[in-house]
């Protein structure tokens, strides 16, 4: 929520936090009601089926949160406050609502970095269920997951253990931020993309790839001081000697340019430089972003 606030520092987040708490309370009450109806002996340890049903009843049901298939690439779909206001969002943004409610109810939930589409795994009493927060929290079995994988990676793709990579809390937040960055880059909003990466580094200061991307963006924006700082951080973290040497050359050029007092705001410095070439060689590539279902993708809710 505080990441979303960075784009609008004056916005009060208390109402959003209160809503998240209400959702959690409603999920807890729904679990209790379903457990009682099922005659469960131990209502403190509900079955995974009851947990899934409660989440479906409350988040997409009572509160009507759904994936935004119509305007999938709208940057608002990755801004958590906008998602709450519009009740529409990307898989990873909606997943945060499920994760918050589940954890508040002491339910074991894990983010799954599935190719192209963020999923959640719920576990209780040794049983597991995979759900899709984008499509109303529906459960996905092996057949549906295989269809989903083939839709993104081609008909020859088959499920592998690596496709179920667990995502840490930091990885989930970085994925959400990356979705904003990707959309900002598509719209040509380089300054916004740089701000998003800069905020991502608050929780991942040792992520060399983020420092590299930030330096490349600042180089494009002709903000040499900031580019120099970002690339210097990158060199200190990067393990690849070839890449480190290439960036070191850019750092020397930036230092020389700044040492000569060249203004970073001048528009007439259009000669091809190492930093310009670097940006061409290493563009800011979007990674781990959520992708829209291809038009011919079968509805995963169907068997």
Write down the mean pLDDT value for the chain. 86
Percent of the chain with pLDDT over 90: 72
pLDDT digits (tens, 9 = 90+) for 244-296: 999 999 999 999 988 854 444 444 444 444 544 444 434 444 445 566 544 33
pLDDT of 192 higher than 60:
yes
List CB contacts of 126: < 8 A, sequence separation 6 or more: none
pLDDT digits (tens, 9 = 90+) for 74-91: 999 999 999 999 999 999
The Cβ-side half-sphere exposure at 38, using a 13 Å CA radius, reads 19
What's the CATH architecture for 189-281? Alpha Horseshoe (1.25)
| C-beta of residue 177 within 8 angstroms of C-beta of residue 3 | yes
Q: Please report, for the chain, the start and end positions of each structural domain, with discontinuous segments joined by +.
A: 2-167, 189-281
Q: Which residue has 């997409």 as its token pair?
A: 60
Provide the pLDDT for residue 40.
73
Q: What is the pTM of this model?
A: 0.82
Provide the pLDDT for residue 281.
38
| C-beta of residue 185 within 8 angstroms of C-beta of residue 216 | no
Classify 52 as helix, strand or coil: helix
pLDDT digits (tens, 9 = 90+) for 104-120: 999 999 999 998 899 99
């Amino acid at each position: 929520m505080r990441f979303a606030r960075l784009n609008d520092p004056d916005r009060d987040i208390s109402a959003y936090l209160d809503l998240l708490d209400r959702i959690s309370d409603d999920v807890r009450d729904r679990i209790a009601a379903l457990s009682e109806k099922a005659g469960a002996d131990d209502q403190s340890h509900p079955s995974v089926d009851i947990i899934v049903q409660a989440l479906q009843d409350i988040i997409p049901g009572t509160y009507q949160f759904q994936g935004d298939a119509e305007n999938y690439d709208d940057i608002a779909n990755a801004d958590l406050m906008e998602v709450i206001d519009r009740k529409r969002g990307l898989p990873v943004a909606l997943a945060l609502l499920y994760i918050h409610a589940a954890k508040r109810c002491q339910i074991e939930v894990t983010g799954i970095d599935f190719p192209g589409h963020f999923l959640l795994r719920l576990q209780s009493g040794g049983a597991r269920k995979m759900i899709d927060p984008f499509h109303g929290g529906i459960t996905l079995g092996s057949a549906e997951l295989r269809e989903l994988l083939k839709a993104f990676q081609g008909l020859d793709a088959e499920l592998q253990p690596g496709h179920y990579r667990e995502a840490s809390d930091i990885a989930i937040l970085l994925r959400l931020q990356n979705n904003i960055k990707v959309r900002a880059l598509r719209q040509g909003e380089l300054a916004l993309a740089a701000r998003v990466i800069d905020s991502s580094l608050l929780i991942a200061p040792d992520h060399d790839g983020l420092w590299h991307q930030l330096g490349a963006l600042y180089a494009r924006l002709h903000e040499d001081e900031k580019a120099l700082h970002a690339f210097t951080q990158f060199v200190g973290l990067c393990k690849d000697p070839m890449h480190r040497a290439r960036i070191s050359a850019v750092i020397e050029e930036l230092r020389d340019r700044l040492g000569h007092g060249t203004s970073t705001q001048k528009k007439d410095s259009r000669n091809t430089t190492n930093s310009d070439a670097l940006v061409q060689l290493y563009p800011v590539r979007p990674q781990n972003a959520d992708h829209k279902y291809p038009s011919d993708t079968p509805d995963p809710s169907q068997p």
